[in-house]
Amino acid sequence: MKVGRFGSYRSPIVDVLSDGQFRALILSQAIFDLGIFMRGAANSWVILELTISQLWIGLVAGVRAIPIMLLALFGGVISDRFGRRNLMMAAGWHCHIFGRDR
């Protein structure tokens, strides 16, 4: 248990939030998530404006979820078979090789 300056209990959350880089990470993640949610709302709005059909909104949302569900199952099998270090190394090399300009 940590004790603060005045002898009272100091929460671990205060310790974490006292780091400036961690606060920047939390803020940037919140802004990123807000953008993702806004994109989803904008997509739904455009589909509604173009089709005037709630069915199409649901179909597009469902179709967007199919790859996530399938790849999550496949990713789970891969993560069980290989170690964390090997997966991170492979992902790093993948980004290095396929992410460069051609």
Do 79 and 86 form a contact (C-beta atoms < 8 A)? no
Residue keyed to tokens 């979820």: 65
Say yes or no: 45 and 60 in one domain.
Answer: no
pLDDT, tens digit, for every residue of 53-97?
Answer: 999 999 999 999 999 999 998 888 888 999 889 999 998 999 889
Say yes or no: 67 and 45 in one domain.
Answer: no
Domain that holds residue 25: 1-52
Helices (H), the chain: 12-17, 20-51, 54-81, 84-98
Do 20 and 26 form a contact (C-beta atoms < 8 A)? no
Length of the chain (residues): 102
pLDDT, tens digit, for every residue of 8-35?
Answer: 677 777 788 888 999 999 999 999 999 9
Count of domains in the chain? 2
- pTM value > 0.85: no
Say yes or no: 25 and 40 in one domain.
Answer: yes
Say yes or no: 60 and 94 in one domain.
Answer: yes
Say yes or no: 43 and 62 in one domain.
Answer: no
Say yes or no: 5 and 16 in one domain.
Answer: yes
Say yes or no: 14 and 60 in one domain.
Answer: no
**Does residue 100 have a pLDDT over 70?**
yes
